[in-house]
Amino acid sequence: MTEAPRWLDDEEMRAWRGFIVGHELLLYRLHRELQDAHGLSLADYEILVRLSEQTDFRMRMTLLAAEVASSKSRVSHQVARLERVGLVKREDCAADGRGVFAVLTDHGYNILRTAAPTHLRGVREHFVDLLTEPERATLASIFERVATRLR
């Protein structure tokens, strides 16, 4: 027996559509700013950031994919592109022989340092500075809950 759908009321629809449209416009703008100024996609930037946050600038590819909420295949293609331009390199994992690490190169780190101010300026201008402190705390709580549920 098929259960009837729980239609969204006006307030729920406003919240859902506001999120969808705002999210897409924000990601597009942040991507465009990085692309125009530094030739990096937002997804590439995120990979460089995640690698830079590691003590040895390296992560297993599977963990990197999970961290950026992407498929292993997509991250593998992104890392291959970043590798071709010298921002990242791959290394085999000596401990198990099957794992592969993505490793941030010195050139990749320098590009990230150059691109970071552009990205941070955009994040602040188009998102963070539009919110009050309680709104930021509420959004963080909401999306941590959503991510926990979906992971």
- Identify the CATH number of the domain in which residue 82 sits: 1.10.10.10
Q: Does a structural domain hold residue 69?
A: yes
Token pair, residue 95, equals 């401990």
- Residue 150 belongs to a domain: no
Quickly tell me which residue has 């000596």 as its tokens.
Answer: 94
Given a cut of 90, is residue 6 above it in pLDDT? yes
Residue 72 lies inside a defined structural domain of this protein: yes
Domain span holding position 73:
41-114
Average pLDDT over residues 9-30: 97
How confident is the model over 91-109, as a mean pLDDT? 88
Q: Please report the pLDDT score of residue 143 as a whole number.
A: 94
2, part of any domain: no
Residue 102 lies in a domain: yes
What value does the mean pLDDT take over residues 36-45? 96
| 34 within a domain of the structure (yes/no) | no
Q: Give residue 70's pLDDT.
A: 87
Q: What are the residues whose beta carbons fall under 8 Å from the beta carbon of 111, sequence distance 6 or more?
A: 38, 40, 48, 87
Positive or negative, the CA dihedral 28, 29, 30, 35 is: positive
pLDDT tier at 99, thresholds 50, 70, 90? confident
Say if 30 falls within a structural domain.
no
Domain count, the chain: 1
What are the tens digits of pLDDT across the range 51-82? 999 999 999 999 999 999 888 899 999 999 99
Residue 84: pLDDT band with limits 50, 70, 90: very high
Within a domain: 66 = yes
pLDDT (mean) for 39-53? 96
Query: What pLDDT sits at residue 126?
Result: 98
Q: Check pLDDT > 80 for residue 95.
A: no
Query: What are the residues whose beta carbons fall under 8 Å from the beta carbon of 101, sequence distance 6 or more?
Result: 58, 59, 60, 61, 90, 91, 92, 93
DSSP label of 2? P
